[in-house]
Chain A
Amino acid sequence: MLNTVGVGLWTRDELDRPWVGALAVGAIVLWSLAVTAAYADAARRTPPMLAADLAVALGALLATPLVKADGFDATLAGYWVMSPMFAWAARWGWRGGLAAGLSVGAADLLIRDELTQVTYGNVFLLAIGGPVVGYLVESLQRSAVQRDRAEREAAAAAERARLARAVHDGVLQVLALVQRRGGEAGATDPRLAELGRLAGEQEEALRALIRAQDRVVPPVAVAAGGAAVASVADLAAALATLESPRVVVSLPGGSVLLPEAQVLEVRAAVAACLDNVERHAGPDARAWVLLESLPGAVTVSVRDDGPGIPDGRLARATAEGRLGVTGSIEGRLRDLGGRADLATGSWGTEWTLTLPVSPATSPGGAPTS
């Protein structure tokens, strides 16, 4: 706008009729102020408003020959014609920018006596600039919309999680209570004992589900591991799903991130240990799973409270070539570069699965980034 006034003053000797020119520049100044005020509110950026804006610019261009002598360089409006074009680009994207740029360019060409390189350059820049600005505006708007949606979804998920926690806590309380009362009243009425047992099972299942859900690794944490560990998973979350009324799973506080394939293999090995417990120590035997994340290694201990394995039985089984589950557990760990050790005694039987981990998938709780 100031540029328009300045150039107008500078080139006033080109003017045939200075007063008309001053009037036109004055009108442009007033219009600029009005339109700036009008555009401040998004609701007023209406098609008629924008059309009027462009019409003023075109008018200023077309009026130039009326006030200026033939062979002028600067038009009345000067570079001011870009502002309506940008407004169009902002409102209607690259199409609006192109339309406004082309019409301003066409008007500019129309009033020239001859096509100079400078004029052509200006018109070309207008025609290119409009769509480019429009395109930028469109992608900005798109990413703003996407960001808004992501923020809304994250907020909704957090709220859902908060509500779920409150509901789950209530359900867990009631299930635990039913289990307790059922157990107490079970002495006189076996049906109540059954009810209590069922409630206990459901409580355990819900608790395992909540633990697994709480441990879902956010995608950002996974991405932070870099390209080399594109598919990492949380071993702690995987083991949490093995919890049952007979199996207690003890985990460290954070997540234990490993390549997904390793997580699946270790979980399968632990599941095989638990199957083994049921087969050899009986269906009433209880088992405990402990996950530890050490520097450079991850260990999983699986202990049962069965009678243990009698001396020599394992060695005999190995010698006779019937290793069965034992072999499959050891084999799985060996394939991963780790090992499986078995200890047994009056306190039961304990498998210790050890898996070396590379520093890239750093153990020890929270994912490193």
Chain B
Amino acid sequence: MSEQPLRVMVVDDHPMWRDAVERDLAGAGFDVVAVAADGDQAIARFPAARPQVVVLDLQIPGPSGVEVAERVLRHDPSARVLILSASGEQDDVLAAVKAGATGYLVKSASREELIDAVRRTAAGDPVFTPGLAGLVLGEYRRLSDPTPSGPEVPQLTERETEVLRMVATGMSYKQIAERLVLSHRTVQNHVQNTLRKLQLHNRVELTRWAIEQGLEE
């Protein structure tokens, strides 16, 4: 653990939840540097608060959670976004991950799970639920179906697919490492790569789209 407490920002439009999350994080020794109830507040308060981790609800008024994730990460690429969502609408979750969020947790998670997830997100570890792993797997399949059109379509290696499938069936990194006889760190890298490629692809697509629309410069 670092000497400095971890700086965290909480974005949630539900006051009870916002307070509960804030209290839990503060209780665990984190420094909650800002809270926000909607997208506008989140984007406005982010630069001054400079949080290391943004705990973000996707269903918020104003600019959506997906847009908030994209905007704050563009402003500070070293920040990390952890999605904390109640309903987990699949398209939104996938969009947020593509926009750069590296963690996803449903609100039914316990306090310990939340604190652990914030800690891991801050350390740069991707925090996957089995549901998110299933979505990401499906997204890779969708991108390569029916035929991979050109080299820019991201593909998973066999090992990465194997690891992601195990995450999707609820196995911990430790269990995966044991089953595949890999180090814990290697498993983490594989999972990280699956996200990184997807986010990179998303950025490439956005850039290409912008150039096509004549918005470059």
Question: Which of A172, A248, A347 sits near B86, CB closer than 8 Å?
Answer: A172
- B179 and A345 contact, CB distance less than 8 A: yes
Whether, in the assembled complex, B63 has its beta carbon less than 8 Å from a beta carbon of chain A, the answer is no
For A165, list chain B residues within 8 Å (CB): 87, 89
Cβ contact within 8 Å between B169 and A350: yes
What's the dominant secondary structure at chain B's contact region?
Answer: helix
Residue B130 at the chain A interface, CB threshold 8 Å? yes
Q: Mark B81-96, 1 if CB is under 8 A from A, else 0.
A: 0000011111100100
B84: nearest chain-A partner, CB-CB: A176
B77 at the A/B interface (Cβ < 8 Å)? no
Pairwise interchain contact B145-A248, C-beta atoms closer than 8 A = no
A305 touches B170 (CB 8 A): yes
| Interface size class of chain A, counting residues whose CB lies under 8 Å from the partner chain | 35 or more
Picked from B20, B91, B165, the residue with its CB within 8 Å of the CB of A177 is B20
| Of B106, B108, B165, the contact of A292 (CB 8 Å cutoff) | B165
CB distance from B44 to the nearest CB of A (A): 24
Contact A290 B139, beta carbon cutoff 8 Å: no
Across-interface contacts of A101 in B (CB, < 8 A): none
Binding site for B on A (CB under 8 A): 165, 168-170, 172-174, 176-177, 179-181, 183-184, 200, 203-204, 207, 210, 214, 248-254, 286-295, 301, 303, 305, 345-347, 350, 362-365
Q: Which of B108, B141, B142, B171 contacts A200 (CB 8 A)?
A: B108
Q: Which residue of B lies closest to A174 (CB)?
A: B16
Give the distance in Å from the alpha carbon of A248 to the alpha carbon of B141 in the complex.
21
Q: Which of B20, B110, B170 contacts A248 (CB 8 A)?
A: B170
Interface contacts beyond A250-B130, A251-B131: sample of 20 additional A-B pairs, CB < 8 Å, sorted by A = A168-B87, A169-B86, A179-B108, A207-B88, A210-B87, A214-B90, A250-B131, A251-B90, A251-B134, A252-B138, A252-B142, A253-B142, A292-B137, A303-B170, A346-B178, A347-B178, A347-B179, A364-B141, A365-B141, A365-B142
Which A residues are CB-close (under 8 A) to B90? Answer: 214, 251, 253
Which residues of B sit under 8 angstroms from A291, Cβ to Cβ?
134
In the complex, what's the smallest C-beta–C-beta distance from B147 to chain A, in angstroms? 9
B138 touches A293 (CB 8 A): yes
| Chain A hits for B110, CB < 8 A | 180, 183
Residues of B within 8 A of A289 (CB): 169
User: Please, which residues of chain A bring their CB within 8 A of the CB of B146?
Assistant: 295, 362, 364
Q: Quick check: is B175 within 8 A (CB to CB) of the other chain?
A: yes
Contacts of A347 on B, CB cut-off 8 Å?
171, 175, 178-179
Taken together as a complex, chains A and B put the C-alpha atoms of A347 and B176 apart, in Å, by 9
From A173, A252, A305, contact of B107 by CB (8 A): A173
Contact A173 B141 (CB under 8 A): no
Contacts of B94 in A (CB 8 A): 253
- Best-surrounded residue of A179, A363, A364 (most CB of chain B within 10 A): A364
| C-alpha gap A210/B90 in the complex (Å) | 11
Q: How far is the CB of A366 from chain B (nearest CB, A)?
A: 8
Q: What does the 1/0 interface line of B163-179 toward A look like (CB < 8 Å)?
A: 00100111100010011
Contacts of A364 in B (CB 8 A): 141-142, 145-146
Q: Is B209 an interface residue (CB 8 A)?
A: no
